[in-house]
Amino acid sequence: MIVPSQIYLDFNATAPTRPEVIDAMAEAMRAGGNASSVHGTGRAARGLVEEARRRVAALVNADAENVVFVGSGTEANNQVLRCVGRPRPIISAIEHESVLLARDDAIIAPVHANGMVDLAALEALLAGTDGAVLVSIMTANNETGILQPIADITRLAHEYGALMHSDAIQAAGKIPLDMASWGPDFLSLSAHKFGGPQGVGAVVCRDRSLLARFVHGGGQEGGLRAGTENVAGIAGFGVAAVGAQAGLEQFAALGALRDTLERRMAELAPGVVVFGHDQGRLPNTSKIATPGLSSETQVMGLDLAGIAISAGSACAAGRVEAPYVLTAMGVPEQLAVCAVRVSLGCTTTGDHIDRFMVAWRALYDRAHSRSATAAE
């Protein structure tokens, strides 16, 4: 749960569950029913699942029949990477670990120092594999928020006969997604990133026949994901998708708060580095490094002050090494270990930014004072 008294600035890890989602899930749980049963109660449960399928499809401008519900965003990524039937996928060096670790034979495409995928290098890799591969490039990076040109990458992949997958988990609900015009063969989604429940995700396909099952057993999800459907979670997913789509304009306005935060930090500490500041980014995401002020110190110090941020991906919690995303961008380790991620959301206000700055300035001043004392 989100601690009520805490200023929550870690929306990229998970978003607070929307109240209407909780209501929809509670109603579905009270109603009960197995969506694969043919009696009236089962048909009512099936109706909730299919309505959610239509709603999730609308969020990404796809056909509802091509939405496959799964147990998480990680499962969605794993299913595409492992069940498409193409040899040796090409993935970028900054993918989420659920893509990076899904296959041990993946070919890694480099990124530029600005966090953008090196398209020339990607094309050379495609040419060297005769295109008979799967390309997987994320829509938005979960740590830096940097956006990749998915439509352009998809066209390039298709020119070489490759299939294209994009992990859109961090982007969904934050920016408009258009599978129909961008043209990828697969998108991965996760409900909890935009106010839905944890433990439910989706693979959205251009053509379901291109995907094989990952979880074996029954014939649920058209044979592509065995197991009794999580009716309540799927219903909540659909309600969250509606809310996220309706709130895209409001979410875009968070860019002004993000820019204010970055400007005030830079004014206070001129050495601050904002990664991807000159690139298209998610409007809510700042990846910021302050030389001499470790990420661990910032995360722990701000937590004690009642403010929640992170050092990077929640899936890499507890690690102290330099974040691999920044390493792939060529960021020196001594700077990378000073980076934190501040991700805003629907509850973020200007007062929250003010209070963040008060607490962060106290940390910075203490570190600066210690450095000055040590230099004497």
Number of domains composing the chain: 2
Encode pLDDT of 152-190 as tens digits.
999 999 999 999 999 999 999 999 999 999 999 999 999
Q: Is residue 353 part of a domain?
A: yes
Residue 310, strand partner residues: 341
Q: Which pLDDT does position 368 carry in this prediction?
A: 74
Same structural domain, 364 and 253: yes
Q: Estimate the crossing angle of helix 350-375 against helix 295-304, to 10 degrees.
A: 130
Encode pLDDT of 73-105 as tens digits.
999 999 999 999 898 999 999 999 999 999 999
Domain range for 276 is 7-14+249-375
Encode pLDDT of 60-80 as tens digits.
999 999 999 999 999 999 999
Same structural domain, 198 and 255: no
Q: Which residues are catalytic?
A: 315
Spatial strand order in the sheet of 339-343: 273-274, 285-289, 339-343
Record the tokens describing residue 225, joined without a space: 């994901």
**Nearest-angstrom CA–CA distance, 360 and 365:** 9
pTM exceeding 0.85: yes
Q: Which pLDDT does position 313 carry in this prediction?
A: 61
Same structural domain, 25 and 152: yes
Checking if the pLDDT of 315 tops 90, the result is no
Encode pLDDT of 244-302 as tens digits.
999 999 999 999 999 999 999 999 998 999 999 999 999 999 999 999 999 999 999 99
Average pLDDT of the residues of the chain: 94
**Nearest-angstrom CA–CA distance, 15 and 345:** 7
Same structural domain, 201 and 291: no
The region, left, alpha or beta by phi > 0 then psi within -120 to 50, assigned to residue 11 is alpha
Same structural domain, 204 and 223: yes
